[in-house]
Amino acid sequence: MISMIWAMDENWLIGKDNKLPWHYPSDLKYFKDQTKDQSVLMGEMTYQSLKSYYVKKPLPFKKVYVANVEDKIYSDAIHVKDLFTFLNSTKEDIMIIGGKTIYKLCLPYANKLYITYILKTHEGNVFFPKFDLNQFNLTNYRTDEGLIFAVYERDAL
Ligand SMILES: NC(=O)c1ccc[n+]([C@@H]2O[C@H](COP(=O)([O-])OP(=O)(O)OC[C@H]3O[C@@H](n4cnc5c(N)ncnc54)[C@H](OP(=O)(O)O)[C@@H]3O)[C@@H](O)[C@H]2O)c1
């Protein structure tokens, strides 16, 4: 199963200068709870961003895949050069954790979305690519600290 997780504001903003534009402890906890012990896939930019927070600690995932079209060797991650071959052939449950480019490329393969809605607007320069959420069914919904944590699913593609 391919899942995706992200947080966005009312304008679908997700990033600012390769960092999150906000700090919401309840969303960070939610992200950690959903991704702990999971195999995750992210793009090079998001990997660099996460590494700036985890300078001395290992990334808190079971297995880390990093998509990058350049040839690259990572000490703590598996390089995915051919993203579509990977998505079409993997037998693992994969959680896609960003950023914008990788979300856009992976969305057609996703069966499950974990979206945190931030009910205000922030400053930033990276937006989630617009798509039709009606392709998915809402299967879970809760609010916390002014955030909405929603889960959507659709049948395997
Ligand atoms: N709000 C949230 O939940 C959330 C979550 C994660 C990230 N973000 C934000 O998203 C932003 C980063 O997004 P981004 O779009 O700049 O970067 P990104 O998606 O993290 O990384 C893009 C990378 O994808 C690689 N790539 C592109 N096409 C590919 C393909 N077909 N196969 C394999 N690799 C491919 C590119 O490689 P090359 O460099 O070689 O071209 C590039 O390095 C940051 O601001 C971050 O904070 C927000």
CATH (domain of 19): 3.40.430.10
Question: How many domains does the chain fold into?
Answer: 1
Pairing of strands 2-8, 94-96: parallel
Residues lining ligand 1, Cβ inside 6 A: 6-7, 14-15, 18-20, 42-46, 49, 67-70, 80, 83, 97-102, 105, 126
**Amino acid identity, position 127:** F
Which residue from 101, 127, 147 has its CB within 8 A of the most atoms of ligand 1, so it is best to mutate?
101
Q: In Å, what is the CA distance from 56 to each residue of 52, 53, 79? A: 9, 9, 21
pTM over 0.85: yes
Note the pLDDT tens digit of each residue in 52-98: 999 999 999 999 999 999 999 999 999 999 999 999 999 999 999 99
C-alpha 74/C-alpha 79 separation (Å) is 7
Range of the domain at 123: 2-153
**Nearest-atom index, ligand 1, CA of 47:** 20
> Mean pLDDT over all residues of the chain?
96
